[in-house]
Structure 1
Amino acid sequence: MMNPVFLRRSQKIILPPAGTLTKRLPADRSVLAALLKNIESLGYTFSAQLTLAAESLNQEQMVTLYETILPVLQKILGAHVQHRPMYPNFPDEVMEASEVELYLNAVLHYTHGLLPNTEVKKRPLSLDHKKLKVIDLGTEQQFTQMMRSLAGANGSLSDEDKADLATALTYIPDIDDILPDEIPYKENAAWIASVLLTQKRASTERLSRYFRTATDVLRLAAGLSGLDTSLYWAKRIPQLTQPFQNIYNMNQGMNVQVTPDQQTAPVYHFRKFKRAERRFLLGLLEKTSQPLEDMVLYRELWKRLGEILHPGEMRNQYPHAFEAFTRLRREKHIPTFRSEVEQGLYHRDAAVIARLASRPGELARRLDLLLRSQPQAAEEILNSFNSVISQIAVPLLLQLMAHFKHRNEHRDYRVFFPKGNMGKAVAIYNHLPSLNTAWSAEIVQQIEKELRTRFADRPALGRVYIDPVLAKVPVPFSQRSASQSLRPLPRGSRVAMPSGETVRLFCWWTNLRTGEKNQRRVDVDLSLVLMDEDWNPVETLAFYNLKESYGVHSGDITDAGKEGASEFIDLHIQAVREATKARYAMMQVACFTGQAFAELPECFAGFMMRTYSQTGKIYDPRTVETRFDLTVEAQQAVPLALDLEKREMIWMDAVLKNRSFAITAEQNMSGMQLLGHAFADLHKTTLIELFTLHGESRGTLVDSIEEADTVFAMEEGITPYHTDVILSEYL
């Protein structure tokens, strides 16, 4: 179970130790040769060490290795399915067809569901030559350390990260090999604990150390109920709509208004807990300090949890928890630290500065607002910040550093990424007033000084090389809603496109497999929007405009059937630059039949770089640069844009809001433009800034890879794709 995860994440495989190999028939070397030949067609090969080790396997073990590696590589490259475009001899067939032919084919297709009756021509062999990726020999210790890094990540995990970590938590014999002493990111701690408790692989005593606040306990209750421990959904909970009925309710017979949306509200509810689980949750709550203050933040959610935990039944064992639930129900207005701070900020009360300093994280988050609202107290504010800076978490300091570095630069938009599986990027006009540049500079200087001090206490890195291209890759603070991808990157990353003349976009999907037959049809549309320097639309390649002199669409398939369907778009970079004023090309994938991508059994997309678009297979996995699953709770996704001038991919992993039946790229052009502007104005802490702080504090920076002991680069050493290492060891 470990090898598929290890291969996908690190391009490594664990083989049985030589001492455990049985004396059955040695493997026929032709099996190994066949395996290497097959994976070569996917763009991979074995290292010399792995090849030699594999030769020692017996026949049964070799077959197991074959059956493990090939499906994993096919899946991550999108080669595990058949790709059948509407025009099977794409792209030539579409480019050579007249407008009359294309129109008549469209009429027959949309009216009668008929596809072009074309004989598939034999295509010339591929002339594209790509450097093979090397699969190496790994160890169980390396795999376990990778999983331990994931568990100790100081940032949210993606769904793929969680699935991989769940595999490790299930199958690694000793969970103490995976669990760190501290899990700094609390939603991760709650999720990990819920997995282990559900599988009965850890005691409550072992896990109690990870829960210190009431919100930590609420996250755990959510995780045990199969709910997202980030609690992004909590604000969707409507107010209580009926009196509580159990005999331990603290205010029986409470009158509550019934809201009109009671029946249509999304269902988010806690499951019924066993008595031992209730004792555990109430016991954790009992040990927290000032639980009521945190409980007020999620008042409605705590009311529902209280109905299940029955705190009145155990009031003698957990009196503080019982009192918190009682006050939460009976008292309408409960004074808290946050409410006092809000009042102080509103009235511009100087006393709020000292109040915030008692909670360093809150002071850090309100620092800009404090300086704007009370400029006369700037010296006191900055002194307070400097006095507590050592107590502020590294991720927050890094985000503050980026904010104040770029504070007075001209930006049209401010961009935020809300919690949840929406892939949503919220862009608002930037109305922030200017701030004294000296204040911003002092804050940045103090943060850098503090981070260098902290990092200097970590193990030495020796001579450090940092690839300059990492200046275009943000630090992966949050991977919560990141799409599962061949090469996962943080939103806003800019990565150089490889050599090649033609970009080939692709998407594949399948119909629903359950429900009424007449409601299983799924129609996914692939579009490419060309935009100029200022993100104004130039032209669109889509099902309603199949070809231009510089690009071509493979045709609109409106029913994926049982076997699935594909759409492709080819864009010739030099030709489009010569023929138009386009600088950017934005990819849009939309579900025309109205289902959210999260509802589909499978849907993925990506792009290849092709030098000779007419040669080789239409879908050549060796040329796939990125492949990602579309699983967001939305009907329209904008995964990426291409900067055709700089030959860079801009990773967006965003969605567009639906507007009735306006589902095509052309009908959502304003949303596409807004996304383009938003990502152009995005300023986040980059990996080169983070690694430079580490390199200067823990070693000596050098100018070449050859002389380095520690390498930070796109393809060597610690890369942006090692999110587990970055989140656990560098944040």
Structure 2
Amino acid sequence: MRLAPPNRATSAETDPVALALLRRGLVAPGLLAERQRIKERGAAAPVAAGVRALEADALALGYLIGPRLHAYLSRQQAPRLAALGHGLLDALASLVGAHVPHLPLFKNFPARVPAGTDDLFVLRMFAYIAQPYESSCVLCGKEGTVRPVSPCGHLVCLTCWDLDDYTGCPICHRRIDEAVAHLDAATWRPSGAVPDDQALDPAAAPRRAVRLELVECLDDEVHAAVGALLARRTPLREQELAELDALLDFVGHRDLAWLPDVIEVRETRAHVLHRLVTDPALADRMPQALDRHATTATDLLRLLHLCSGGDAGMRRPIARRASLPRRLRRLVLARLNTLPTVALLDDLHRHRDAWLRTAENLHPFEEAARHPDAALAFAALRGTVPAPGSPLDAVLAAAAERHIALVHRHRGRVRYRTWRSHVETALRDGADEQAVALLAQRPGELLRRLTVLAHRHTGDPTEFLLTVAEAAEQAAPGVVLAALGAVRAATQPARPRLFFPAGAAARLWTTADTRRRLPADLGGELEQLLVEEMLRRAATLPRVQTALLDPGLADVLAPFAARTASTALLDLPRGSTQPLPDGDVVRLFLHWTEPEGVRVDLDLSVAMYDVHGVFTGLCDFTRLRFGDRAAVHSGDLTSAPAPLGASEFVDLNVSRLLGAGVRYLVMVVFSYNDIAFEQMTDAFAGVMANPPGGSPGRRGPFAAGGEPFQPQRVEQRFDLTGADKIATPLVVDLHERRTRWLDAKLAGSGCGHQVGGYSVQLGRLAVAADRYFGAGFRVSMWELACWHAAARADRVMVRDGAVRGYERQPYERAVDFAARLVHAGPAEHDETAQSAPAAFAALLHGDAELTDAARVYALYHAGLDAARVERLAAADLVAQLAPMPKPGD
């Protein structure tokens, strides 16, 4: 018996709250609704057999049923168990990508993929151009074998083109209508299904497997999840924002009891305020909410951006701004009027273009006497010349007189010189001390320019270091970590520079580092200063008796540019590396479903480079095979109508690729006809480990190579989103047998995107990413975990085969103890196993002995009981190092 997920065509959407909890390893049975009536599923099996079947199906998707969930399921009646099982499997299938059928162009991929791509193209084009209707085949000469294919209408000879080998038209590769009925009638099964005779071994679960446990109290778990998201000190990704909305809908927000006093991340704050201002029932409480949570003009700009259909990060331009309700306009202008005038003027000029567009709907001069300081700031922004003697002229004149140190009138216009312009002028004129004094007013800006200021510094470093230390005390932890990485990059030997510019997507580009190096003594002092600040903050967190660390986290970077990170099955920060899965073959996959009425052609491609980054070949729709089957493409589908969509695969044989002189592989997804990923109904890609082989003698779809998509073997699955058309998710280093997660986009314009047009750019990217991230400039999760443990734990255990026990000595400074941990220095104790349960842990795999309520970060969650311990994300470990509020704040 199997409780395999149903076909997507008949499956309903899963409750978003259920999905949010499942990502945390928790199952709330009440949220898993029935997908169809039980009688349509067939007769219910005995409960014990049904639970075993459910465990097997969950394992086939890469999830493990925990003991308390197992006990709960075993107590259910058979109909209830069946309903819960189908709901759970539907939800898990959507997470891993098994909620859709995966049908490549060539049904017998990878065994029967044509080798001569050019010859195949010539035959396709000749048949397309020369084949007349109701005539003999122009290729083989047989009569009565030519038929039109639906829906494209191309004439296909059934002798030359065996439709049993294709899921699309052999000429244009568009999906053909007959494929639906043919595949349903044949041996195809939904992707989550597992044959009854195929054994499933829990030990064969993938690295990214998650242990699922029962939610004991749904309200408590939902409130805890809301609190964790609002407490983040790094911007939430789109997936997390969607989860927050779903959780808040479940909680309800009329009483505002869930709203904390402080929401640190301004984008999250704007997102929450937007929910509040759109609720008429909260109108009387909105002034107080804005006074508490909108502390700058930019906070209000983010809110207005959301009200016009934009995003809180203001990264996507808005084509047409919506008209604002009078109540909201008055609220915003009233709040702007209460802000410090110098900060208001600076914030308006910092986002000048956005505020100019917003002011068209805000009408700041409509009742200027109500908010004179706000009207003055907009007049300075716009360069307004009021009519002499008008009421507006009187209001602006009175306001300008109150702020005469900040603004002046020039030919009737209000003028203001921004803080940023003062900084740039000081730097341009060589007034470095003045520039440092100005930047010290904004600690984050000083740290972002730290290496520039350090390069220019020529005097006694003592005062400069004191200024940096004061700025570091107030800066956000992500800014401190970025400054630490920049100092290391500027001090150590030059490597390629890698940039992730701010924007709606992580657009990656690289250039050579031609800057002169920082003196080693100054760079070392700056680095120690920043590390000491992180340790000082960690020391204020609750102490624990025992901490457990895993050195494997040295390959995992602390998160940066997180707001543009893709929704992924494995939450791996950009730049991190992980070993290739065991086995000699790795399979890449892509699936997409086009919107109705729009044909979309996505292409899964692999670009190949040697050790120097020189282009050596490719595997894509123009070359279905590379080398001696070193890489094999499943064929190019050029449309993806619902409900089947389209899938493409590429098999990579590591040994054969190495024999062909390939070192780097770049995985790329192109939108060939220039349709943005965000327009797709569904679009995702990923990596499978050790895809199954098959018996060449078998017949039927996918018989020669097994089903092309098997969710248990999925190592990573990520969504393709945003307004981009070229995604470069990862780079593989075959020499090191490691994958580096980039999650980046490339800029491109026009149609016909393919590897040939980007081969040089992709090669530079592969080598630069390897050298930059491999240099160790950026802080790793291992280093971050060592800081936490060194400052908070009485004893630190490091497991690396054996277990080494560390204790801070009385004479040892915290920074020296942390360095001893980071660099695997001498330990006080050497043990064969973990000697005590840990209350804090940072691990590669979650298979450790932990105390109840332990706080643990693990890249791979298998073994973690989410109902017993508090699972931390990488961003949480960073967020905990936020600056401490000063007395009186």
TM-score of the alignment, normalized to the shorter chain, above 0.5: yes
Q: Does 1:565 align with 2:646?
A: yes
Determine the structure 1 residue equivalent to 2:656.
575
- Residue 453 of structure 2 is aligned with which of 348, 355, 370? 370
Provide the rounded CA distance (Å) in 2 between the counterparts of 1:218 and 1:180.
Answer: 21
Distance 1:409 1:113 in 2: 64
Distance 1:105 1:454 in 2: 68
Range with greater deviation from structure 2 (77-86 or 159-168): 77-86
What residue identity is the alignment partner of 1:190? Answer: A
- Please name the residue that 1:21 is paired with: none
Q: Does 1:275 align with 2:352?
A: no
Q: Identify if the C-alpha distance between structure 1 residues 28 and 352 changes in structure 2 by more than 3 Å, giving closer, same or farther.
A: same
Which one-letter code corresponds to 2:163 in the other structure? N
CA shift for structure 1 position 676: 1.1
Conserved 8 A contact 1:213-1:294: yes
Displacement after TM superposition at 1:461 (Å): 3.2
- Counterpart of 1:696 in structure 2 is 790
2:427 alignment partner, one of 327, 345, 361: 345
Q: Which residue of 2 aligns with 1:214?
A: 297
Question: Where does residue 18 of structure 2 map in the other structure?
Answer: 4
> Counterpart of 2:880 in 1: which secondary structure?
helix
Shift in CA distance, 10/401, structure 1 to aligned 2, threshold 3 Å: same
Question: 1:182 offset after TM fit, Å?
Answer: 1.6
Q: Tell whether the 8 Å contact from 2:568 to 2:718 is kept in structure 1 after alignment.
A: yes
Residue pair 1:157, 1:478 contacting (<8 A) in 2 also: no
Q: Which residue number in structure 1 is paired with residue 858 of structure 2?
A: 719
Instruction: Give, in whole Å, the separation in 2 of the partners of 1:199 and 1:675.
Output: 47
Alignment partner, residue 134 of structure 1: 211
Given candidates 226, 229, 236, the residue that maps to 1:147 is 226
Residue matched to 1:93? 112
| Cross-structure match for 2:493 | 410
**2:41 matched residue in structure 1:** none
Determine helix, strand or coil for the equivalent of 2:370.
coil
Q: Does 1:600 align with 2:680?
A: yes
Say if 1:596 and 1:611 are closer, same or farther in 2 by CA, change over 3 A.
closer
Q: Distance in 1 between matches of 2:435 and 2:719?
A: 47
Q: Does 1:621 align with 2:635?
A: no
User: Which residue in 1 is equivalent to 2:746?
Assistant: 656
Residue in structure 1 matching 2:600, options 514, 522, 528: 522
**Distance in 2 separating the partners of 1:444 and 1:109:** 67
> Which residue of 460, 470, 473 maps to 2:553?
470
Q: CA deviation at 1:386?
A: 2.4
Say if 1:306 and 1:377 are closer, same or farther in 2 by CA, change over 3 A.
farther
After superposing the two structures, state which structure 1 stretch, 103-112 or 490-499, moved more.
Answer: 103-112
Matching of residue 40 in structure 1 with residue 43 in structure 2: no
More deviation, 474-483/99-108: 99-108
Say if 2:132 is the partner of 1:118: no
Distance 2:16 2:675 in 1: 34
- SS of residue paired to 2:736: coil
Measured after TM superposition, the shift of residue 46 of structure 1 is: 1.2
Point out the structure with max Rg over C-alpha.
2
Moved more, 561-570 or 106-115: 106-115
Relative distance call for 1:474 and 1:590 in structure 2 (3 A) is same
Q: Which runs of 5+ in 1 are unaligned?
A: 18-25, 234-265, 515-519
**By how many angstroms is 1:618 displaced?**
1.5
1:357 maps to 440
Partners of 2:297 and 2:121 in 1: CA distance? 63
Q: How many angstroms apart in 2 are the aligned matches of 1:382 and 1:675?
A: 35
Shift of 1:216: 1.3
Contact 1:420 1:480 in 2 (8 A): no
> In angstroms, what is the RMSD of aligned CA positions?
2.9
Given candidates 613, 626, 646, the residue that maps to 1:535 is: 613
- Counterparts of 1:481-560 in structure 2 under 5 Å? 481-514=564-597, 520-547=598-625, 548-549=627-628, 550-560=630-640
Contact 1:46 1:134 in 2 (8 A): yes
Shift in CA distance, 274/659, structure 1 to aligned 2, threshold 3 Å: closer
- 1:522–1:560 Cα contact (<8 Å) kept: yes
1:285 aligns with 2:336: yes
C-alpha displacement of 1:150 = 1.3
The 3-state SS of whatever aligns with 1:313 is coil
Structure 2 match to 1:301: 354
The answer as to whether partners of 2:508 and 2:744 remain within 8 angstroms in 1 is: yes
Distance in 2, Cα, partners of 1:647 & 1:436? 36
Aligned equivalents of 2:753 and 2:470: distance in 1?
52
AA partner of residue 565 (structure 1): A
**Partner in structure 1 of residue 502 of structure 2:** 419
- Aligned CA distance change for structure 1 residues 286 and 160 (closer, same or farther; 3 Å): same
Task: Give the Cα–Cα distance (whole angstroms) in 2 for the partners of residues 201 and 145 of structure 1.
Answer: 25
DSSP 3-state at the match of 1:480: helix
CA distance in 2, matches of 1:307, 1:60: 59
Check whether the contact 1:128–1:610 (CA below 8 A) recurs between aligned residues: no
TM, length-normalised to structure 1: 0.87
Partner SS for 1:83: coil
Q: Deviations over 1:301-324 (max 9, x none)?
A: 223322322233333332221221
One of 164, 167, 185 as aligned partner of 2:246: 167
Structure 2 distance, partners of 1:676, 1:103, is 30
Q: Secondary structure at the match of 1:703?
A: strand
CA spacing shift, 1:659–1:542, aligned 2, 3 Å: same
The residue type paired with residue 672 of structure 1 is: L
Query: CA 1:728/1:388 → structure 2, altered by over 3 Å: closer, same or farther?
Result: closer
**DSSP-derived class of the 1:93 partner:** coil
Give the aligned partner of residue 374 of structure 2: 321
Distance 1:621 1:460 in 2: 41
Mapped partners of 2:533, 2:84: distance in 1? 49
536-545 or 159-168, which deviates more = 536-545
Query: Does residue 72 in structure 1 map to residue 223 in structure 2?
Result: no
Residue pairs, 1:173-322, within 5 angstroms: 173=252, 178-199=258-279, 203-204=285-286, 205-233=288-316, 267-289=318-340, 290=342, 291-322=344-375
Residue type at the aligned position of 1:475: A
Unpaired runs of 5+ residues, structure 2, are 1-14, 32-43, 130-153, 167-185, 189-194, 384-412, 695-704, 804-833, 847-855, 861-872, 883-889
**Counterpart residue type for residue 357 of structure 1:** A
Deviation at 1:621, TM superposition (A): 0.8
Q: Provide the C-alpha distance between the structure 1 equivalents of 2:375 and 2:722, rounded to a whole number of angstroms.
A: 39
Q: 1:697 to 1:727 in 2, by over 3 A?
A: closer
Counterpart in 2 of 1:667? 757
Bigger shift: residues 125-134 or 144-153: 125-134
SS in 1 for 2:572: coil
The aligned length equals 684
Q: Specify the SS of the correspondent of 2:798.
A: coil
- Code of the residue aligned with 1:573 in structure 2: it is V
* Contact 2:494–2:514 under 8 Å retained in 1: no
Return the offset for 1:661.
4.2
Q: Aligned partners of 1:87, 1:126: CA distance in 2, in Å? A: 25
The CA distance in 2 between the partners of 1:652 and 1:126, in whole Å, is: 36
Where 1:719 maps in the other structure, the secondary structure is strand
Q: Is the 8 A contact 2:506 2:561 kept in 1?
A: no
Task: State the match for 2:812 in structure 1.
Answer: none
In the superposition, the TM-score normalised over structure 2's length comes to 0.72
**Aligned residue number for residue 814 of structure 2:** none
Which residue matches 1:251?
none
SS of structure 1 residue aligned to 2:491: coil
Q: How far apart are residue 92 of structure 1 and its match?
A: 0.8
Please, which moves more after superposition, 442-451 or 222-231? Answer: 222-231
1:656-684 deviations in Å (ceiling 9; x for gaps): 22254451112210120122133121442
Residue of structure 2 equivalent to 1:13: 27
